[in-house]
Amino acid sequence: MSIAVAVLEQVEQAAREHGAGGVAEIRLRIGELAGVVPQALDFCFELACAETVAEGARLSVEAVEARASCAGCAMEWAVGMPPDLGCPRCPGVAGELLTGRELQILDVRWADAPAPVRADQEG
pLDDT of residue 116: 53
Q: Which domains does the chain have, with CATH numbers?
A: 2-65+100-121 (3.30.2320.50), 66-98 (no CATH)
Share of the chain above pLDDT 90, in %: 74
Model confidence pLDDT, tens digit, residues 60-83: 999 999 999 999 999 999 998 888
| Cβ-Cβ contacts under 8 Å for 3 (sequence gap 6 or more) | 36, 41, 44, 103
Residue 15 banded pLDDT, cuts 50, 70, 90: very high
**How confident is the model over 22-45, as a mean pLDDT?**
94
Q: Does 91 score more than 90 pLDDT? A: no
Distance CA 28, CA 10 (A): 12
Distances, alpha carbon 87 to alpha carbons 43, 62, 77, 79, in Å: 37, 26, 8, 10
